[in-house]
Amino acid sequence: MLKALQQLGAWGINLTRSAGRLGLFLLSLLPALPYAIWRVSLLVKQTFNVGTLSLPIIMTAGLFVGMVLGLQGYNVLVDYNSEEAVGTMTALSLLRELGPVVAALLFVGRAGSALTAEIGLMRSTEQLSALEMMAVDPLKFIYAPRFMAVLITLPLLTLIFIALGIWGGWLVAVGWLGVDDGAFWSQMHAHVDWREDVVNGMIKSVAFALLIAVVALFQGSETAPTSEGVSYATTRTVVHGSLGVLGLDFILTALMFN
Amino acid sequence: MGKQAKIEIGVGILVLFSIISLFVIAMKVSNFADMAQDRPTYTLKAHFDNIGGLKVRAPVKLSGVVIGRVASIGVDKSNYRALVTMKIDKAYQLPLDTSASILTSGLLGDQYIGLEPGGDDQYLADEDEIEMTQSALVLENLIGQLMVKLTDSGDKQ
């Protein structure tokens, strides 16, 4: 009984401590962020690492998600003789939910985990301390470019995901199942609103990017300097990042679409 | 080709792809292009007894052609009727005795305002009101009327 109470207390103290460390981390990271824009070459390299290298998985996933949506949507809508609406359905579900969320989940797994592992290993091999010894601030030269790169690339990848998804839906619906091409596009055009659907989806994507950047970099900076620590930190990034994205998505959806 | 050049090409591909995607989403998928070309409009008002499920930004149609949008929906406090303001494209001039009715596209579709032009040689100006209006059909009222009719005819026999 007392043991359980002690555990609860330890858990509470740990939680508060890590919340405090997160706050301090963000507070010290914030003034370092402008350096990422000042040192463009570092930012470009990180954009390549987290963005361009994620392109294949994002493009493949987007295409297949769109194709599945087209197929499932067609199967349901054909019963009501309104299979032209499959374009509207594919576009709306991709723009509002699936695009931002699935792209963010893939991004956590592909880029977030890599960032954590990289920074964690830098910590365990004391490269960060070495930088500090040379009077180079790791916040400005390691963390800031990575943070900005995540913030920039995830919305871009989301756009590509959505566009390819809609194309995938078109391939299945028009190319394979014989939905009318003109009706497919005109129905979509009539029902998708720029402000309501596209901009809201992109706001979601930026929010997810912020969350993923904070989680991945903070977990990297928290890594215990052992090989086991790196593996734990990487796992935590993926788990916390994915759950955070899903939770945040519900909150944003409730705020935006009601 | 240096390593830096390869990285820059990679980032270039990413940016190019996302610009193409944004362009497709803006122009082909959503109504961004329609909003961008803001054509000059004038405002018309109309009172309705019941607007049914009419929403802001619902289309205003003349013979099926969209010539404007519903700008706002409210209640006129002086007579407790719904007050709908519409923004109509300046290219379309409507006679003074135009009538407006709230219609539904398809059996379960969205509601829109259908305009029926009259024969007057004077035209409606900005901020004018359409006098003749017909409310949305409310299914419950229709069924109620039908029931009354059926019971009436039953009593007579």
The complex's ipTM works out to 0.83
Report how far residue A138's alpha carbon sits from residue A129's, in angstroms, rounded to the nearest whole number: 9
Within a domain: B149: no
Q: Which residues of A touch B (CB under 8 A)?
A: 41, 44-45, 47-48, 51-53, 55, 91, 95, 153, 156-157, 159-160, 162-164, 166, 185, 188-190, 192-195, 197-198
Average pLDDT over residues A166-185: 90
Within a domain: B157: no
Question: What does the longest C-alpha to C-alpha distance in chain A come to?
Answer: 71
Lowest mean pLDDT among A90-104, A233-247, B40-54: B40-54
Residue B8 with chain A: CB contacts under 8 Å: 44
Q: Is the dihedral of CA A129, A132, A134, A139 positive or negative?
A: positive
Average pLDDT over residues A126-144: 89
Q: Hey, what's the torsion of the CAs at B42, B47, B50, B52, to 10 degrees? A: 0
Q: How far apart are the CA of B57 and the nearest CA of chain A, in angstroms? A: 10
Average pLDDT over residues A41-55: 91
Residue B11 is part of which domain span?
3-34
Q: Per-residue confidence at B37, pLDDT binned at 50, 70, 90?
A: low
Within a domain: B96: yes
Same domain, B25 and B72: no
Same domain, B8 and B77: no
Same domain, B86 and B60: yes
Same domain, B54 and B124: yes
Return the pLDDT at A162. Answer: 95
Return the pLDDT at B36. Answer: 56
pLDDT surpasses 90 at B130: no
Same domain, B54 and B111: yes
Same domain, B77 and B95: yes
Domain count within chain B: 2
Within a domain: B137: yes
Task: Report helix, strand or coil for B90.
Answer: coil
Same domain, B105 and B50: yes
Same domain, B84 and B58: yes
Residue B44, strand partner residues: B86, B128
Same domain, B28 and B49: no
Per-residue model confidence as pLDDT tens digits over A192-229:
888 888 999 999 999 999 999 999 999 999 898 888 99
Strands B111-116 and B99-104: antiparallel
Same domain, B81 and B138: yes
Nearest-CB residue to B7 (from A44, A163, A192): A44
Same domain, B81 and B26: no
Residue B35 with chain A: CB contacts under 8 Å: 194-195
Per-residue model confidence as pLDDT tens digits over B60-117:
899 888 888 888 899 989 989 999 999 888 888 889 888 998 888 766 667 889 999 8
Same domain, B44 and B30: no
